[in-house]
């Protein structure tokens, strides 16, 4: 048995739609995770992605025709449909979902889907009105009843200019669902040991989300942080093999698969939990920790009384977790990364913060009104290191997390110094 056949295997069916271009990133993410990915590209999908690009990323032949004599001799559509551990349709258009629901087999993709005894997953992508149409909703319920796992869709802006549900979920989200599906598949095909991953054996601590500093039992000082970016970074580092501990302020998010976690509320609690998790190789302080807390929080609700002036709140500084970790002494983590959420002079303020805190890197972002970064799904980052300044384009927070995790991994290859490479 070859090393390649020992890998978990996914058969990815790329159907036609503007979102088909995201399948290329999904293939790259699966390959990085050690998953063998063979692809079927429909005729409609070829209008958006080329089979050559798919083949280059997957390293596998691309299947397109039901009646290819060569493919039938070497593989056979029945064997192809059953040899994978998971069949994934991404993107799944309204058209292919309808054919799946009604058992049609009029091309290679739908013939494979009808012939398979392998678990099937589909990630829908279509116009909001198509997604909301009763026929599509009935088809989705039919497929769910048959055991097809539906991933998404997300709300978002469509290529047609409309906004609403129907947008393909991000490739990293589909990747995570696939990895979970592979582990739960009836064949019990396990992902290969992650010995080849760059951060195996490394310990990482991530802080994420806001802190809530109590005023009284019902009120607190807080901020708009959702925790999305910190959670995404924790998941991205875990996928590269790191042993990750996520220290989270109050959020509604679930801890990423494979990540150890602790939930806290205040800055003092976050500090204690972070220090308790040391030693570590990597610390990423992505949490939006409140700078101040009320000197004396009351045990009873502060009542509003007619004619009475508003209460005067005395604020005191919260602990500076980033500065404390950066100056921890002989056990200082090898790479300490802070975040700078700024509204004015973003780059200049972030450079000053890096020098003031003593951390290795700062990830700066503009959170001013209208950017929708604080609490939103996307981010635009400026990475500031000893080597210089890198300005990254706006991208989904999952993608930014993966990019940052890959840069972190570079620092632990061949004992590289703690400094990012300058971007030409």
Distances (CA, A) of 8 to 48, 85, 183, 371: 27, 6, 9, 40
Rounded Cα–Cα distance for residues 80 and 397 (Å): 35
Any known ligand binding at 344?
no
Which residue is listed with tokens 């064949």?
A: 187
Rounded Cα–Cα distance for residues 235 and 402 (Å): 9
Any known ligand binding at 8?
no
Helices (H), 362-396: none
Query: 242 with 280: CB under 8 angstroms?
Result: no
- The residues, ordered by sequence, that sit 6+ positions from 182 with a Cβ below 8 Å of its Cβ are 8, 10, 35, 85, 86, 189, 191
Q: What is the dihedral of CA 190, 193, 196, 199, to 10 degrees?
A: 110
Rounded Cα–Cα distance for residues 396 and 400 (Å): 6
Query: 262 with 412: CB under 8 angstroms?
Result: no
Q: And the tokens for 72? A: 């039938």
Any known ligand binding at 319?
yes
Rounded Cα–Cα distance for residues 297 and 295 (Å): 7
Any known ligand binding at 291?
yes
- The residues, ordered by sequence, that sit 6+ positions from 224 with a Cβ below 8 Å of its Cβ are 210, 374, 375
Which residue is listed with tokens 């005067």?
A: 312
Distances (CA, A) of 125 to 19, 94, 121, 122, 339: 7, 8, 13, 10, 33
Distances (CA, A) of 284 to 198, 233, 336, 358, 391: 17, 8, 6, 13, 19
Any known ligand binding at 281?
no
Any known ligand binding at 353?
yes
Question: Nearest-CA neighbor of 23 among 88, 84, 86, 83?
Answer: 88
**Cis peptide preceding 183, ω within 30 of 0:** no
Any known ligand binding at 422?
no
Catalytic (active-site) positions: 160
Annotated binding site for CTP: 291, 301, 319-322, 339, 353, 357
Annotated binding site: 291, 301, 319-322, 339, 353, 357
């Amino acid at each position: 048995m070859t090393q390649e056949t020992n890998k978990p295997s996914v058969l990815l069916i790329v159907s036609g739609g503007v979102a088909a271009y995201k399948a290329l990133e999904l293939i790259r993410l699966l390959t990085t995770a050690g998953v063998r990915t063979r692809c079927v590209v429909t005729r409609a999908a070829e209008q958006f992605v080329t089979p050559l690009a798919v083949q280059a990323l997957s390293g596998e032949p691309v299947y397109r025709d039901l009646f290819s004599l060569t493919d039938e001799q070497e593989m056979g559509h029945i064997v192809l449909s059953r040899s994978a551990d998971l069949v994934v349709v991404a993107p799944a258009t309204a058209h292919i979902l309808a054919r799946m629901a009604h058992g049609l087999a009029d091309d290679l993709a739908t013939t494979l889907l009808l012939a398979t005894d392998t678990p099937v997953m589909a990630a829908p992508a279509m116009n909001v009105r198509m997604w909301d149409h009763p026929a599509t909703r009935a088809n989705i319920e039919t497929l769910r009843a048959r055991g097809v796992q539906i991933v998404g869709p997300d709300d978002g802006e469509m290529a047609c200019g409309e906004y609403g549900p129907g947008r393909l979920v991000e490739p990293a989200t589909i990747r995570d669902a696939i990895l979970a599906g592979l582990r739960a598949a009836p064949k019990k095909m396990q992902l290969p040991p992650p010995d080849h991953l760059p951060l195996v054996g490394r310990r990482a601590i991530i802080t994420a989300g806001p802190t809530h500093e109590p005023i009284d039992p019902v009120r607190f000082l807080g901020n708009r942080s959702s925790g999305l970016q910190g959670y995404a970074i924790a998941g991205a580092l875990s996928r590269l093999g790191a042993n990750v501990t996520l220290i989270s302020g109050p959020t509604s998010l679930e801890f990423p698969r494979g990540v150890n976690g602790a939930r806290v509320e205040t800055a003092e609690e976050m500090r204690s939990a972070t220090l308790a998790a040391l030693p570590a190789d990597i610390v990423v302080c992505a949490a939006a920790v409140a700078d101040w807390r009320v000197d004396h929080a009351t045990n009873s609700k502060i009542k509003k009384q007619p004619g009475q002036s508003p209460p005067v709140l005395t604020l005191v500084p919260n602990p500076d977790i980033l500065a404390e970790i950066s100056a921890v002494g002989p056990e200082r983590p090898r790479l300490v990364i802070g975040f700078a959420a700024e509204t004015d002079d973003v780059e200049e303020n972030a450079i000053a913060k890096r020098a003031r805190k003593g951390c290795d890197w700062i990830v700066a972002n503009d959170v001013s009104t209208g950017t929708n970064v604080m609490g939103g799904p996307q981010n635009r980052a400026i990475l500031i290191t000893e080597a210089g300044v890198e300005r990254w384009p706006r991208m989904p927070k999952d993608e930014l997390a993966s990019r940052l995790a890959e840069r972190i991994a570079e620092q632990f290859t061949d004992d590289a110094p703690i400094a990012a490479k300058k971007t030409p």
